[in-house]
Amino acid sequence: METKYLEAVLFSAAKPLTIDMLRELFQLSKKDVEIYIEALQKELDTYDRGVRVRQSVAGVELVSDSSCAEFISKIRKKEDTLSNAAMETLAVIAYKQPITKAEIEEVRGVNSDKVLKQLLSRSLVTELGHKDTVGRPILYGTTDEFLRSTGMTSINALHEELNKEG
């Protein structure tokens, strides 16, 4: 197999692909898939390409190189961004999860129905189940898509990063 096939698959995928998915797709051992991932990353580094391979809890994906951040941020500003209310709600959920809507609203001091629907529709937040209290309210938490968008490998890594800054 050539690394160009791995690059094309990662580029075309709508979300990160697990090692097992890649192993099955290319009919290779886990070790061989890992060797091809490493080889692709070396090629991208050697030729100073605008993308890099990133492995996270969600899987393997192509991401833009950090040296291109200035241009990426310009295009992202033109794309649909989250409102301040959505960002605030997402931060509360990420930090306090699992958390109910009432608990979110207690922290924020405002109704969060619309914002929660927006975050759910963007797959940044998910319903984790129900709290074992009166009314059995829904518990919310962040998703792998949220971790991917923040570049974090886990919620623990996010909490460690937040604790460093605060």
Q: Is the dihedral of CA 86, 66, 1, 59 positive or negative?
A: negative
User: What DSSP assignment string belongs to 131-160?
Assistant: -SSTT-PEEEEE-HHHHHHHT-S-HHHHHH
Question: What is the per-residue pLDDT across 112-127, written as a single tens digit (0 to 9) for each?
Answer: 999 999 999 989 999 9
- How is domain 80-165 classified at the CATH fold level? Arc Repressor Mutant, subunit A (1.10.10)
- Mention the CATH class of domain 3-73: mainly alpha
User: What DSSP assignment string belongs to 117-136?
Assistant: HHHHHTTSEEEEEE-SSTT-
Predicted confidence at residue 163, as pLDDT, reads 75
Predicted confidence at residue 166, as pLDDT, reads 58
**What's the pTM value of the predicted model, to 2 decimals?**
0.55
Question: What is the per-residue pLDDT across 134-157, written as a single tens digit (0 to 9) for each?
Answer: 999 999 999 988 888 877 778 887
Predicted confidence at residue 1, as pLDDT, reads 84
The yes-or-no verdict on residue 158 having pLDDT over 80 is: no
CA 97, CA 143: separation in Å to the nearest integer? 11
Q: Tally Cβ neighbours within 10 Å of residue 22.
A: 22
* Sequence-ordered list of residues with C-beta below 8 angstroms from that of 32, at least 6 positions apart, any chain: 23, 26
Q: How far is CA 137 from CA 61, 90, 134, 149, in A?
A: 35, 18, 8, 27
The yes-or-no verdict on residue 164 having pLDDT over 70 is: yes
Do 3-73 and 80-165 agree at the fold level?
yes
Question: What is the per-residue pLDDT across 25-81, written as a single tens digit (0 to 9) for each?
Answer: 999 999 999 999 999 999 999 999 999 999 988 899 999 999 998 888 887 766 567
CA 155, CA 146: separation in Å to the nearest integer? 10
Predicted confidence at residue 92, as pLDDT, reads 95
Question: What is the residue extent of each domain of the chain?
Answer: 3-73, 80-165
